[in-house]
A = this chain, B = another copy of it.
């Protein structure tokens, strides 16, 4: 399946609402526990999604549109959300994610990108040259990678409770963790 900006936006539009329905007012035993030291809870992951929307995807897209392949993108701080989330509730984070995502998609739509614009190129600190198309597709799949992670982190909390069924539950065998 080729990248389609319209389909990317359709997915990006839905993530904050889906996470809000899944996580809002859920007991904290589901949302505040992680998979062990230096891993993230559902709470942490929502903070990371906000931080990515603030500092990563749209700022990098602006750089591509304004400056092309030079300068290189700033590296993304995968732990940058920790400071900002600390004093907030999950409900505040869910509201904030909905707001920042909505603002970002308004900006993206406002650019009125044409098919040829998606071939514009930027420079990633690890990958070298990348296209705007690849980056916008990645923004959507980054949402899915963290929905995937949230379901795994929450499932982990019942690893013992499910007894022998753990053998049938793929989520408890998942080793598809994101790179640091």
A interface residue numbers (CB < 8 A to B): 1-4, 6-7, 10-11, 14-15, 17-23, 26-27, 29-30, 33, 124, 127, 130-131, 133-135, 137-138, 140-142, 144-145, 147-149, 151-152, 154-155, 157-158, 160-165, 167-179
Contact = CB atoms under 8 A, between A and B. Distances in A.
Given A18-B22, A21-B14, A27-B7, A148 B171 contact: yes
B168 A140 contact: no
A127 B140 CA distance: 39
A169 B176 CA distance: 8
A168 B178 contact: yes
Contact of A14 (B2, B26, B155, B169): B26
A130 B158 CA distance: 15
A141 B169 contact: yes
A53 to B, nearest CB: 16
Contacts of A23: 14
A133 B138 CA distance: 40
Total copies of this chain within the assembly: 2
Contacts of A161: 1-3, 133-134, 137
Contacts of A144: 151-152, 154-155, 171
Contacts of A152: 144, 148, 176
Contacts of A133: 161
Contacts of A17: 21-22
A179 to B, nearest CB: 5
A140 B27 CA distance: 14
A39 to B, nearest CB: 12
25 contacts: A1-B157, A2-B160, A4-B29, A6-B27, A7-B29, A10-B26, A10-B30, A14-B26, A17-B22, A18-B21, A20-B21, A124-B164, A130-B163, A130-B164, A130-B165, A131-B163, A137-B158, A137-B161, A141-B155, A141-B169, A144-B154, A152-B176, A167-B179, A170-B179, A173-B176
